[in-house]
Structure 1
Amino acid sequence: MLLKNKVIFLTGGTEGIGLECAKVYSAAGARLSIITNNEASIELAKAKLPKSEILFINADVSVAADMQQAITETVDHFGSLDVIHNNAGISNPSKAIHETTAEEWDKVFDINVKGIFNTTRFGIDELRKTKGNILNTSSLVGEIGQEIHAAYSATKGAVNALTKSMALDYAPYGIRVNAVAPAGVWTPMLRSWSQQQPDPLTIENYLDGIHALGYCPEGDVVADACLFLVSEQARFITGCILPVSGGAELGYRSVINPLNQLNQS
């Protein structure tokens, strides 16, 4: 029970990586406040999660008033706040920068980056009381870039820099700030992105191939890493951008790996 009685404010927690995090956090004893602006996804998540110790709030991370109210409602309901996990995010648009509209640019930054700004400024006083921590869901593309995904990559680069700066700012209060950086993970968002690519039929093989471990995983592998980072087992880790990437960042690989052939024979 690594998170027994800890109160976690989890944005984007009704599907994808967020839902997998909700499962492992709950199993570890946490009490959850799950934030989403997708009302329909709440009912789907309820069917997959425990019936108690979870508060669902319909709110938009990009709207300051929504986050202020959500933090207040969480603390009123549970009495405290130990962790903010900024997981909510969008991947659109899948375009080069010259094809991206101002509206698309603003929306992806409002959710992926401004969302962290909003939850932090309204939640930081509560985290000071508990010496809690903040976890941001980033992406490997924030370090290495990605073809025809400029705006999204820029937001994740911002999340990485923000994570490190926040870690320095809040260390004097005993508050840790970290991020996880997956490569490919099979989520509804990734499947939507896949259909926007020039050749969607090749995407599954492509995503398997970019990971040194040979496959594109489900969200549970990221959730397990998140559980570690928000728990006391990571009590001396802050400012870390943890790759959960199956080695995707390690460098070029040959198209035909003889060890893979050996394993398959």
Structure 2
Amino acid sequence: MAKNIVITGGSSGIGVACAEAAVASGHRVALVARSQDKLDQIVAKLGEENAIAVQCDVTKPAEQEAMFEKVLAHFGTIDAVFANAGLGASATGTEHGDVDNFHEMILVNNFAVTVTCKFAIPHLRKTKGQLVLIGSQAGHVALSGSVYSATKWFIRGYAKNLSNELIEHGVRVTSIDPGMVDTPFFDEPKPTALRPEDIGKAFAYIIDLPEHARIAELEIYPTVGAHHS
């Protein structure tokens, strides 16, 4: 059965790959990001019968609330939400890091995710849907002084907390925790890293699980090297 899926951070990288995989599996997607032009191009590629674009700054709760209402008005129901928007570090560690970057990372990687989840929950309770969060291998290891890593430890713990809150309502929560993925997230190509399509396949697998099954946490790493995303 076709599902209606919301994907934040839907204008590039993992978000696009997951949208493509979901549409290939027969689902419909609402792509959410700040760049309307990029979103429109992706929707044109996926087909307007399969996808819609909703411009939204996820750090602004009012815009997220309006986004969910637009998606609901278009699709009628919401069956899955992928809190995928994220931001990386501009420098290594805390001592040499940039305070403005710390603020923006925590705002996007943590605060915005909690807002996405809050507004998603009422819709997902009605459909007994799925809530997927983008974590990282960096949330499984202690990276020296890394604020980015700490934001991903938050995601890992928050996903477990959400699962405890929502499981009695039939809502399944999954954290996808990839190793390094070759996306625009990095300034240079990463030839030994995972590809966005690898995460897309994992996402489609999670979305297509039968209702009696759930994956709490999915770690997916490249086979070459010990890279951290």
Q: Same fold (TM over 0.5)?
A: yes
Q: CA deviation at 1:28?
A: 1.0
Contact 1:10 1:33 in 2 (8 A): yes
**1:246 matched residue in structure 2:** 222
SS at match of 1:26: helix
| Match of residue 89, structure 2, among 85, 88, 92 | 92
| 1:216 and 2:193 are equivalent in the alignment | yes
Q: Report the AA paired with residue 130 of structure 1.
A: T
CA distance in 2, matches of 1:101, 1:50: 41
Matches within 5 A, 1:86-165: 86-146=83-143, 150-165=146-161
**1:181 matched residue in structure 2:** 177
**1:170 matched residue in structure 2:** 166
Q: Deviations over 1:6-51 (max 9, x none)?
A: 1101101121011000001011111111100123322442343223
SS at match of 1:113: helix
Contact 1:10 1:35 in 2 (8 A): yes
Q: Report the AA paired with residue 25 of structure 1.
A: A
Contact 1:183 1:248 in 2 (8 A): no
| 1:78 and 2:55 are equivalent in the alignment | no
| Match of residue 17, structure 1, among 14, 21, 25 | 14
Matches within 5 A, 1:4-83: 4-83=1-80
Count of aligned pairs: 227
Q: Report the AA paired with residue 50 of structure 1.
A: G
SS at match of 1:48: helix
Q: Deviations over 1:187-212 (max 9, x none)?
A: 0112x2x4xxxxxxxx84xxx6xxxx
Q: Report the AA paired with residue 246 of structure 1.
A: P
CA distance in 1, matches of 2:212, 2:28: 20
Q: Deviations over 1:123-181 (max 9, x none)?
A: 21111110001001111011114457x12111111000000110111000010101111
SS at match of 2:45: coil
CA distance in 1, matches of 2:35, 2:97: 24
* Identical counterparts, % of pairs: 23
| 1:225 and 2:194 are equivalent in the alignment | no
Q: CA deviation at 1:79?
A: 0.5
Q: CA deviation at 1:247?
A: 4.9
Q: Deviations over 1:90-135 (max 9, x none)?
A: 1132321012233211110111111221111112111111000100
Unmatched runs of 5 consecutive residues or more in structure 1: 195-202, 209-214, 252-265
CA distance in 2, matches of 1:49, 1:147: 41
Q: CA RMSD in A?
A: 2.1
Q: CA deviation at 1:249?
A: 9.3
Q: Report the AA paired with residue 87 of structure 2.
A: I
Q: Report the AA paired with residue 217 of structure 1.
A: L
Contact 2:166 2:172 in 1 (8 A): yes
SS at match of 1:188: coil
Please tell me whether Structure 1 or Structure 2 has the larger radius of gyration of its CA atoms. Answer: 1
Q: CA deviation at 1:216?
A: 1.7
Q: Report the AA paired with residue 195 of structure 2.
A: E
Runs in 1 of length 4+ with deviation above 6 angstroms? 248-251
Q: Deviations over 1:51-93 (max 9, x none)?
A: 3231101101111001100011111111111101011111132
Q: Report the AA paired with residue 45 of structure 1.
A: I
